[in-house]
Copies of this chain bind each other. A is one copy, B any other.
Amino acid sequence: MRMNKNSSNVMALAPNTSNKRETVCIFGTGDFGRALGHKMIQSGYPVVYGSRSTQISNLIPKDAEVLGHAEAAQKAAIIIIAIPRQHYNFLTPLAEVLRGKVLVDISNNLKLNQYPESNAEHLAQLLPGSKVVKAFNTVSAWALQSGTLDASRQVFVCGDDVEAKQMVMNIVRALGLTPLDKGSLLAAQEIENYPLQLFPMWKFPIFLSLGLTAFFFFYCVLLDIIYTYIYEKKDFSFFIAITIPNRVCPVMALILLALVYLPGIFAAIIQLYRGTKYRRFPDWLDKWMLCRKQLGLIALGFASLHVLFTLVIPLRAFVRWRTSTRIISQVMNNKTEPLDHTNAWLSDSYLALGILGFFLFVLLGITSLPSVSNNVNWREFRFVQSKLGYLTLILSTAHTLVYGGKWFLSPSTYKWYLPNIYILSLIVPCAVLVVKFLLIFPCVDKPLTQIRQGWERNPKYSEQSNYIINKSAV
Protein backbone atom coordinates (compact mmCIF):
# COMPACT_ATOMS: atom_id res chain seq x y z
CA MET A 1 0.00 0.00 0.00
CA ARG A 2 1.04 3.56 -0.77
CA MET A 3 -0.24 4.82 2.60
CA ASN A 4 2.47 5.51 5.16
CA LYS A 5 1.29 3.74 8.30
CA ASN A 6 4.07 4.45 10.77
CA SER A 7 4.16 7.93 12.26
CA SER A 8 6.77 9.92 10.35
CA ASN A 9 7.67 12.37 13.08
CA VAL A 10 11.29 11.72 12.15
CA MET A 11 12.04 13.43 8.89
CA ALA A 12 12.93 11.02 6.09
CA LEU A 13 15.38 13.03 3.98
CA ALA A 14 16.96 9.98 2.38
CA PRO A 15 14.51 8.68 -0.21
CA ASN A 16 13.07 5.32 0.60
CA THR A 17 12.71 3.19 -2.50
CA SER A 18 9.47 1.53 -1.39
CA ASN A 19 7.71 4.85 -0.64
CA LYS A 20 9.48 7.57 -2.51
CA ARG A 21 7.65 10.73 -1.43
CA GLU A 22 7.17 11.69 2.20
CA THR A 23 3.59 12.12 3.44
CA VAL A 24 2.23 15.65 3.41
CA CYS A 25 -0.50 16.81 5.78
CA ILE A 26 -2.99 19.51 4.80
CA PHE A 27 -4.99 21.37 7.46
CA GLY A 28 -8.25 22.59 5.98
CA THR A 29 -10.44 21.14 3.25
CA GLY A 30 -11.28 24.40 1.46
CA ASP A 31 -10.89 24.89 -2.24
CA PHE A 32 -7.16 25.53 -2.34
CA GLY A 33 -6.43 22.77 0.17
CA ARG A 34 -8.27 20.28 -2.02
CA ALA A 35 -6.67 21.51 -5.25
CA LEU A 36 -3.20 21.28 -3.72
CA GLY A 37 -3.99 17.81 -2.36
CA HIS A 38 -5.13 16.61 -5.79
CA LYS A 39 -1.97 17.90 -7.42
CA MET A 40 0.26 16.36 -4.74
CA ILE A 41 -1.40 12.97 -5.07
CA GLN A 42 -0.90 13.18 -8.85
CA SER A 43 2.79 13.89 -8.18
CA GLY A 44 3.10 10.83 -5.94
CA TYR A 45 2.80 12.31 -2.46
CA PRO A 46 0.68 10.49 0.15
CA VAL A 47 -1.69 13.18 1.45
CA VAL A 48 -3.51 13.22 4.79
CA TYR A 49 -6.06 15.93 5.58
CA GLY A 50 -6.57 17.35 9.04
CA SER A 51 -10.19 18.37 9.50
CA ARG A 52 -12.55 19.19 12.35
CA SER A 53 -15.17 16.81 11.06
CA THR A 54 -14.30 13.74 9.03
CA GLN A 55 -17.93 13.19 8.01
CA ILE A 56 -18.74 15.93 5.48
CA SER A 57 -15.56 15.71 3.48
CA ASN A 58 -16.91 14.15 0.29
CA LEU A 59 -15.00 16.59 -1.95
CA ILE A 60 -11.64 15.44 -0.67
CA PRO A 61 -9.50 13.65 -3.29
CA LYS A 62 -10.33 9.96 -3.08
CA ASP A 63 -6.77 8.74 -2.42
CA ALA A 64 -6.36 11.03 0.59
CA GLU A 65 -6.91 10.10 4.20
CA VAL A 66 -8.96 12.37 6.48
CA LEU A 67 -8.18 12.48 10.18
CA GLY A 68 -8.51 14.83 13.11
CA HIS A 69 -5.94 17.63 13.19
CA ALA A 70 -3.65 16.11 15.80
CA GLU A 71 -3.67 12.64 14.27
CA ALA A 72 -3.09 14.00 10.77
CA ALA A 73 -0.20 16.20 11.93
CA GLN A 74 1.55 13.24 13.53
CA LYS A 75 1.66 11.45 10.17
CA ALA A 76 3.73 14.05 8.33
CA ALA A 77 6.78 16.24 8.70
CA ILE A 78 5.26 18.98 6.54
CA ILE A 79 1.88 20.51 7.32
CA ILE A 80 0.22 22.84 4.88
CA ILE A 81 -1.97 25.37 6.68
CA ALA A 82 -4.87 25.90 4.25
CA ILE A 83 -7.10 27.78 6.69
CA PRO A 84 -7.78 31.54 6.90
CA ARG A 85 -5.64 33.72 9.17
CA GLN A 86 -8.65 34.48 11.40
CA HIS A 87 -8.67 30.84 12.53
CA TYR A 88 -4.93 30.52 13.21
CA ASN A 89 -5.65 30.82 16.95
CA PHE A 90 -7.15 27.36 17.06
CA LEU A 91 -3.69 25.96 16.21
CA THR A 92 -2.19 27.06 19.56
CA PRO A 93 -3.55 24.02 21.46
CA LEU A 94 -1.74 21.85 18.88
CA ALA A 95 1.61 23.55 19.60
CA GLU A 96 3.08 20.42 21.13
CA VAL A 97 2.16 18.20 18.16
CA LEU A 98 3.42 20.79 15.70
CA ARG A 99 6.77 21.32 17.48
CA GLY A 100 9.64 20.87 15.02
CA LYS A 101 7.29 20.39 12.09
CA VAL A 102 7.44 22.46 8.91
CA LEU A 103 4.29 24.61 8.63
CA VAL A 104 3.61 25.97 5.15
CA ASP A 105 1.59 29.18 5.22
CA ILE A 106 -0.28 29.50 1.89
CA SER A 107 -2.74 32.23 2.92
CA ASN A 108 -3.56 35.41 1.07
CA ASN A 109 -5.22 38.58 2.20
CA LEU A 110 -8.03 40.54 0.60
CA LYS A 111 -6.18 43.83 0.39
CA LEU A 112 -2.61 45.14 0.45
CA ASN A 113 -0.98 45.33 3.92
CA GLN A 114 -4.22 44.24 5.58
CA TYR A 115 -2.50 43.37 8.86
CA PRO A 116 0.50 45.00 10.56
CA GLU A 117 2.55 41.82 10.21
CA SER A 118 2.29 39.16 7.52
CA ASN A 119 0.17 36.03 8.04
CA ALA A 120 3.28 33.85 8.02
CA GLU A 121 5.01 35.92 10.70
CA HIS A 122 1.80 35.88 12.74
CA LEU A 123 1.78 32.08 12.49
CA ALA A 124 5.45 31.90 13.50
CA GLN A 125 4.69 34.00 16.61
CA LEU A 126 1.77 31.79 17.57
CA LEU A 127 3.83 28.59 17.20
CA PRO A 128 7.44 29.49 17.99
CA GLY A 129 8.44 25.81 18.11
CA SER A 130 7.50 25.16 14.48
CA LYS A 131 9.38 26.07 11.32
CA VAL A 132 7.14 28.36 9.26
CA VAL A 133 7.67 28.60 5.49
CA LYS A 134 5.63 30.90 3.23
CA ALA A 135 4.82 29.40 -0.17
CA PHE A 136 2.18 28.66 -2.83
CA ASN A 137 0.12 31.80 -2.20
CA THR A 138 0.93 33.16 -5.67
CA VAL A 139 -0.49 30.06 -7.39
CA SER A 140 -4.16 29.94 -8.37
CA ALA A 141 -6.24 26.97 -7.19
CA TRP A 142 -8.05 26.94 -10.51
CA ALA A 143 -4.86 26.91 -12.55
CA LEU A 144 -3.34 24.26 -10.27
CA GLN A 145 -6.30 21.94 -10.69
CA SER A 146 -6.96 22.40 -14.38
CA GLY A 147 -3.27 21.82 -15.07
CA THR A 148 -3.18 24.79 -17.42
CA LEU A 149 -0.34 26.66 -15.84
CA ASP A 150 0.42 28.90 -18.78
CA ALA A 151 1.01 31.70 -16.33
CA SER A 152 4.07 32.14 -14.20
CA ARG A 153 5.26 28.86 -12.73
CA GLN A 154 7.28 30.73 -10.13
CA VAL A 155 6.44 30.02 -6.50
CA PHE A 156 7.95 32.47 -4.04
CA VAL A 157 9.24 30.72 -0.94
CA CYS A 158 10.59 32.31 2.24
CA GLY A 159 11.34 31.09 5.72
CA ASP A 160 13.91 31.31 8.50
CA ASP A 161 14.83 27.61 8.58
CA VAL A 162 17.01 26.70 5.61
CA GLU A 163 16.28 22.95 5.73
CA ALA A 164 12.53 23.46 6.04
CA LYS A 165 12.67 25.81 3.08
CA GLN A 166 14.57 23.19 1.05
CA MET A 167 11.92 20.56 1.80
CA VAL A 168 9.13 22.88 0.65
CA MET A 169 11.09 23.84 -2.47
CA ASN A 170 11.47 20.17 -3.35
CA ILE A 171 7.68 19.74 -3.20
CA VAL A 172 7.26 22.84 -5.37
CA ARG A 173 9.62 21.33 -7.96
CA ALA A 174 7.86 17.97 -7.81
CA LEU A 175 4.57 19.70 -8.73
CA GLY A 176 6.22 21.06 -11.88
CA LEU A 177 6.61 24.59 -10.54
CA THR A 178 9.73 26.73 -10.08
CA PRO A 179 10.56 27.75 -6.51
CA LEU A 180 12.19 31.13 -5.98
CA ASP A 181 13.93 31.60 -2.63
CA LYS A 182 13.06 35.07 -1.32
CA GLY A 183 15.09 34.75 1.90
CA SER A 184 13.90 34.91 5.48
CA LEU A 185 10.33 35.17 6.75
CA LEU A 186 10.62 38.96 6.63
CA ALA A 187 9.83 38.68 2.91
CA ALA A 188 6.41 37.19 3.67
CA GLN A 189 4.66 40.58 3.69
CA GLU A 190 5.92 41.30 0.18
CA ILE A 191 4.99 37.80 -1.01
CA GLU A 192 1.48 38.16 0.42
CA ASN A 193 1.00 41.50 -1.29
CA TYR A 194 2.25 40.24 -4.65
CA PRO A 195 -0.86 38.42 -5.98
CA LEU A 196 -3.13 41.34 -5.08
CA GLN A 197 -1.44 43.74 -7.44
CA LEU A 198 -2.75 44.57 -10.91
CA PHE A 199 0.04 46.35 -12.76
CA PRO A 200 0.66 48.85 -9.93
CA MET A 201 3.47 50.63 -11.78
CA TRP A 202 1.32 51.02 -14.89
CA LYS A 203 -1.65 52.80 -13.35
CA PHE A 204 -0.42 56.38 -13.47
CA PRO A 205 1.18 56.12 -16.97
CA ILE A 206 -1.97 54.50 -18.39
CA PHE A 207 -4.36 57.06 -16.90
CA LEU A 208 -2.11 59.92 -18.03
CA SER A 209 -2.01 58.45 -21.56
CA LEU A 210 -5.77 57.92 -21.70
CA GLY A 211 -6.41 61.49 -20.54
CA LEU A 212 -4.00 63.06 -23.01
CA THR A 213 -5.24 60.82 -25.84
CA ALA A 214 -8.86 61.83 -25.22
CA PHE A 215 -7.89 65.51 -25.13
CA PHE A 216 -5.92 65.38 -28.39
CA PHE A 217 -8.57 63.24 -30.07
CA PHE A 218 -11.35 65.74 -29.42
CA TYR A 219 -9.02 68.64 -30.28
CA CYS A 220 -8.46 67.01 -33.69
CA VAL A 221 -12.14 66.20 -34.18
CA LEU A 222 -12.88 69.86 -33.51
CA LEU A 223 -10.30 71.26 -35.92
CA ASP A 224 -10.37 68.64 -38.67
CA ILE A 225 -14.00 67.50 -38.83
CA ILE A 226 -16.26 70.08 -37.16
CA TYR A 227 -14.38 73.16 -38.46
CA THR A 228 -14.28 71.73 -41.99
CA TYR A 229 -17.96 70.84 -41.80
CA ILE A 230 -18.99 74.32 -40.63
CA TYR A 231 -16.77 76.46 -42.85
CA GLU A 232 -16.23 74.27 -45.91
CA LYS A 233 -19.46 72.18 -45.82
CA LYS A 234 -17.44 69.00 -46.33
CA ASP A 235 -18.12 65.76 -44.45
CA PHE A 236 -14.84 64.19 -43.38
CA SER A 237 -16.34 62.20 -40.51
CA PHE A 238 -14.47 59.05 -41.71
CA PHE A 239 -11.25 60.77 -40.58
CA ILE A 240 -12.16 59.39 -37.14
CA ALA A 241 -11.00 55.91 -38.20
CA ILE A 242 -7.44 56.54 -39.46
CA THR A 243 -6.54 60.16 -40.15
CA ILE A 244 -7.12 61.45 -36.61
CA PRO A 245 -5.68 58.40 -34.79
CA ASN A 246 -2.61 58.85 -36.97
CA ARG A 247 -2.32 62.44 -35.73
CA VAL A 248 -2.88 61.60 -32.08
CA CYS A 249 -0.52 58.58 -31.93
CA PRO A 250 2.69 60.36 -33.02
CA VAL A 251 1.88 63.32 -30.77
CA MET A 252 1.35 60.99 -27.79
CA ALA A 253 4.51 59.01 -28.58
CA LEU A 254 6.65 62.16 -28.74
CA ILE A 255 5.21 63.75 -25.60
CA LEU A 256 5.45 60.55 -23.54
CA LEU A 257 9.02 59.95 -24.72
CA ALA A 258 9.93 63.48 -23.64
CA LEU A 259 8.23 62.86 -20.28
CA VAL A 260 10.63 59.91 -19.79
CA TYR A 261 13.60 62.29 -19.89
CA LEU A 262 12.01 65.32 -18.20
CA PRO A 263 12.35 64.03 -14.59
CA GLY A 264 16.09 63.48 -15.11
CA ILE A 265 16.35 67.12 -16.18
CA PHE A 266 14.43 68.25 -13.09
CA ALA A 267 16.65 66.09 -10.87
CA ALA A 268 19.81 67.62 -12.33
CA ILE A 269 18.47 71.16 -11.84
CA ILE A 270 17.42 70.42 -8.25
CA GLN A 271 20.83 68.94 -7.46
CA LEU A 272 22.61 71.91 -9.02
CA TYR A 273 20.42 74.34 -7.09
CA ARG A 274 20.86 72.52 -3.77
CA GLY A 275 24.54 71.82 -4.39
CA THR A 276 24.24 68.30 -2.93
CA LYS A 277 22.85 64.92 -3.83
CA TYR A 278 22.21 63.94 -0.23
CA ARG A 279 18.71 65.36 0.02
CA ARG A 280 15.68 63.48 -1.13
CA PHE A 281 13.86 64.64 -4.22
CA PRO A 282 10.26 65.77 -3.83
CA ASP A 283 7.84 62.86 -3.73
CA TRP A 284 6.24 63.58 -7.12
CA LEU A 285 9.67 63.49 -8.76
CA ASP A 286 10.57 60.17 -7.09
CA LYS A 287 7.31 58.61 -8.27
CA TRP A 288 7.74 60.03 -11.75
CA MET A 289 11.28 58.61 -12.01
CA LEU A 290 10.03 55.17 -10.98
CA CYS A 291 7.48 54.98 -13.81
CA ARG A 292 9.78 56.13 -16.62
CA LYS A 293 10.07 52.63 -18.07
CA GLN A 294 6.30 52.30 -18.28
CA LEU A 295 5.95 55.76 -19.86
CA GLY A 296 8.58 54.79 -22.43
CA LEU A 297 6.87 51.51 -23.31
CA ILE A 298 3.49 53.21 -23.75
CA ALA A 299 5.21 55.78 -25.97
CA LEU A 300 6.63 52.86 -27.99
CA GLY A 301 3.10 51.45 -28.33
CA PHE A 302 1.84 54.76 -29.73
CA ALA A 303 4.85 54.98 -32.06
CA SER A 304 4.14 51.45 -33.38
CA LEU A 305 0.50 52.34 -34.01
CA HIS A 306 1.67 55.49 -35.82
CA VAL A 307 3.93 53.36 -38.04
CA LEU A 308 1.08 50.95 -38.89
CA PHE A 309 -1.41 53.77 -39.51
CA THR A 310 1.13 55.50 -41.77
CA LEU A 311 2.02 52.41 -43.79
CA VAL A 312 -1.61 51.63 -44.67
CA ILE A 313 -2.12 55.14 -46.12
CA PRO A 314 -1.71 54.01 -49.77
CA LEU A 315 -4.35 51.29 -49.21
CA ARG A 316 -7.07 53.70 -48.08
CA ALA A 317 -9.96 54.21 -50.53
CA PHE A 318 -9.90 57.96 -49.78
CA VAL A 319 -6.20 58.27 -50.59
CA ARG A 320 -6.53 56.26 -53.80
CA TRP A 321 -9.45 58.49 -54.82
CA ARG A 322 -7.46 61.65 -54.01
CA THR A 323 -4.43 60.41 -55.98
CA SER A 324 -6.42 59.61 -59.12
CA THR A 325 -8.38 62.87 -58.84
CA ARG A 326 -5.12 64.85 -58.75
CA ILE A 327 -3.68 62.99 -61.75
CA ILE A 328 -6.90 63.40 -63.72
CA SER A 329 -7.04 67.12 -62.95
CA GLN A 330 -3.43 67.47 -64.15
CA VAL A 331 -4.34 65.68 -67.37
CA MET A 332 -7.43 67.83 -67.82
CA ASN A 333 -5.39 71.01 -67.37
CA ASN A 334 -2.84 69.56 -69.78
CA LYS A 335 0.14 70.37 -67.62
CA THR A 336 2.90 68.17 -66.23
CA GLU A 337 4.50 69.32 -63.01
CA PRO A 338 8.30 69.04 -62.77
CA LEU A 339 9.82 67.33 -59.74
CA ASP A 340 9.87 69.68 -56.74
CA HIS A 341 13.36 69.00 -55.30
CA THR A 342 12.71 70.76 -51.98
CA ASN A 343 9.60 68.71 -51.47
CA ALA A 344 11.43 65.47 -52.40
CA TRP A 345 14.15 66.34 -49.86
CA LEU A 346 11.67 67.20 -47.10
CA SER A 347 9.51 64.14 -47.75
CA ASP A 348 12.44 61.72 -47.83
CA SER A 349 14.12 63.36 -44.81
CA TYR A 350 11.19 63.14 -42.44
CA LEU A 351 10.50 59.54 -43.50
CA ALA A 352 14.16 58.60 -42.96
CA LEU A 353 14.31 60.39 -39.59
CA GLY A 354 11.12 58.69 -38.51
CA ILE A 355 12.38 55.25 -39.56
CA LEU A 356 15.68 55.66 -37.71
CA GLY A 357 13.93 57.05 -34.63
CA PHE A 358 11.43 54.19 -34.58
CA PHE A 359 14.21 51.63 -35.10
CA LEU A 360 16.15 52.94 -32.09
CA PHE A 361 12.93 53.13 -30.08
CA VAL A 362 12.27 49.42 -30.73
CA LEU A 363 15.88 48.66 -29.69
CA LEU A 364 15.26 50.50 -26.42
CA GLY A 365 12.08 48.48 -25.96
CA ILE A 366 13.91 45.20 -26.52
CA THR A 367 16.63 46.07 -24.00
CA SER A 368 13.92 46.72 -21.41
CA LEU A 369 12.75 43.09 -21.64
CA PRO A 370 13.65 41.52 -18.27
CA SER A 371 15.77 38.74 -19.77
CA VAL A 372 17.79 41.20 -21.86
CA SER A 373 18.29 43.84 -19.16
CA ASN A 374 19.43 41.11 -16.76
CA ASN A 375 22.19 40.23 -19.22
CA VAL A 376 23.71 43.69 -19.52
CA ASN A 377 25.72 45.35 -16.80
CA TRP A 378 24.91 48.74 -15.37
CA ARG A 379 27.33 50.58 -17.66
CA GLU A 380 25.80 48.98 -20.76
CA PHE A 381 22.26 49.67 -19.54
CA ARG A 382 23.08 53.35 -18.92
CA PHE A 383 24.66 53.59 -22.37
CA VAL A 384 21.57 52.19 -24.08
CA GLN A 385 18.91 53.97 -22.03
CA SER A 386 20.65 57.31 -21.82
CA LYS A 387 22.70 57.71 -25.03
CA LEU A 388 20.41 55.79 -27.39
CA GLY A 389 17.34 57.18 -25.61
CA TYR A 390 18.36 60.79 -26.20
CA LEU A 391 19.27 59.96 -29.81
CA THR A 392 15.76 58.54 -30.23
CA LEU A 393 14.25 61.71 -28.78
CA ILE A 394 16.39 63.89 -31.07
CA LEU A 395 15.47 61.88 -34.19
CA SER A 396 11.76 61.84 -33.31
CA THR A 397 11.70 65.57 -32.62
CA ALA A 398 13.55 66.26 -35.88
CA HIS A 399 11.08 63.98 -37.71
CA THR A 400 8.17 66.02 -36.36
CA LEU A 401 9.90 69.36 -37.04
CA VAL A 402 10.70 68.50 -40.67
CA TYR A 403 7.19 67.13 -41.21
CA GLY A 404 5.23 69.91 -39.56
CA GLY A 405 7.72 72.75 -39.97
CA LYS A 406 6.07 74.33 -42.99
CA TRP A 407 2.81 74.78 -41.10
CA PHE A 408 4.27 76.75 -38.23
CA LEU A 409 4.02 80.14 -39.83
CA SER A 410 1.19 79.55 -42.27
CA PRO A 411 -1.90 81.33 -40.90
CA SER A 412 -4.31 78.81 -42.45
CA THR A 413 -3.28 76.24 -39.87
CA TYR A 414 -4.57 78.40 -37.03
CA LYS A 415 -8.21 77.43 -37.29
CA TRP A 416 -10.22 79.29 -34.61
CA TYR A 417 -6.84 80.75 -33.51
CA LEU A 418 -5.93 77.31 -32.10
CA PRO A 419 -2.49 75.91 -32.91
CA ASN A 420 -2.12 72.64 -34.79
CA ILE A 421 -1.38 69.70 -32.49
CA TYR A 422 2.07 69.31 -34.11
CA ILE A 423 2.99 72.56 -32.48
CA LEU A 424 1.60 71.47 -29.11
CA SER A 425 3.47 68.16 -29.32
CA LEU A 426 6.83 69.87 -29.82
CA ILE A 427 6.81 72.01 -26.66
CA VAL A 428 7.93 69.37 -24.13
CA PRO A 429 10.53 67.53 -26.31
CA CYS A 430 12.12 70.78 -27.47
CA ALA A 431 12.28 72.08 -23.89
CA VAL A 432 13.89 68.82 -22.71
CA LEU A 433 16.46 68.87 -25.52
CA VAL A 434 17.36 72.56 -25.00
CA VAL A 435 17.87 72.17 -21.23
CA LYS A 436 19.78 68.89 -21.71
CA PHE A 437 22.01 70.70 -24.23
CA LEU A 438 22.72 73.40 -21.62
CA LEU A 439 23.43 70.74 -18.96
CA ILE A 440 26.20 69.10 -21.00
CA PHE A 441 28.17 72.38 -21.24
CA PRO A 442 31.37 71.91 -19.23
CA CYS A 443 30.59 74.83 -16.90
CA VAL A 444 27.38 73.06 -15.81
CA ASP A 445 28.40 69.44 -16.32
CA LYS A 446 31.53 69.66 -14.15
CA PRO A 447 29.84 70.77 -10.90
CA LEU A 448 26.96 68.36 -11.56
CA THR A 449 29.36 65.44 -11.94
CA GLN A 450 31.13 66.49 -8.74
CA ILE A 451 27.82 66.64 -6.88
CA ARG A 452 26.88 63.20 -8.14
CA GLN A 453 30.23 61.87 -6.94
CA GLY A 454 29.40 63.02 -3.44
CA TRP A 455 30.90 66.52 -3.35
CA GLU A 456 28.85 69.16 -1.54
CA ARG A 457 28.82 72.88 -2.21
CA ASN A 458 27.59 73.70 1.25
CA PRO A 459 28.19 70.78 3.65
CA LYS A 460 26.87 72.71 6.66
CA TYR A 461 23.49 73.08 5.06
CA SER A 462 22.95 69.40 4.40
CA GLU A 463 24.43 68.51 7.74
CA GLN A 464 21.96 70.62 9.64
CA SER A 465 18.98 69.52 7.65
CA ASN A 466 19.64 65.86 7.19
CA TYR A 467 22.43 64.28 9.13
CA ILE A 468 23.55 64.12 12.67
CA ILE A 469 27.13 63.44 13.60
CA ASN A 470 27.00 60.33 15.68
CA LYS A 471 29.90 60.59 18.08
CA SER A 472 30.91 57.16 19.22
CA ALA A 473 28.89 56.61 22.38
CA VAL A 474 30.03 53.23 23.53
Contacts and interface: CB of A to CB of B under 8 A. Distances in A.
Contact of A318 (B183, B290, B339, B385): B339
Given A15-B185, A348-B317, A355-B309, A31 B162 contact: no
Contact of A323 (B304, B320, B470): B320
Contact of A150 (B67, B278, B292): B292
Given A160-B14, A312-B311, A314-B315, A198 B292 contact: no
Given A58-B463, A58-B469, A138 B378 contact: yes
Interface residues of A, number: 153
Contact of A238 (B238, B286, B337, B348): B348
Nearest to A65: B470
Nearest to A154: B374
B381 A315 contact: no
Interface in A333-358: 336-337, 339-341, 343-349, 351-352, 355-356, 358
Given A198-B380, A344-B238, A453-B31, A68 B472 contact: yes
Contacts of A467: 58-62
Given A328-B327, A454-B59, A459-B59, A195 B378 contact: yes
Interface stretch (A96-104, A166-174, A217-225): A166-174
A315 B316 contact: no
Nearest to A182: B173
Contacts of A368: 150
A194 B377 contact: yes
A326 to B, nearest CB: 7
A377 B138 contact: yes
Interface in A455-474: 456, 459, 462-463, 466-474
Copies in the complex: 3
Nearest to A202: B380
A345 B238 CA distance: 5
A170 B183 contact: yes
B151 A381 contact: yes
Interface stretch (A87-95, A141-149, A436-444): A141-149
B174 A186 contact: yes
A321 B337 contact: yes
Interface in A25-61: 30-31, 34, 44, 54-55, 57-61
Contacts of A235: 341
21 contacts: A58-B463, A58-B467, A59-B278, A60-B469, A62-B467, A66-B469, A66-B471, A71-B472, A150-B381, A152-B373, A152-B375, A194-B377, A238-B345, A305-B359, A308-B358, A310-B315, A315-B347, A317-B343, A318-B348, A371-B371, A371-B372
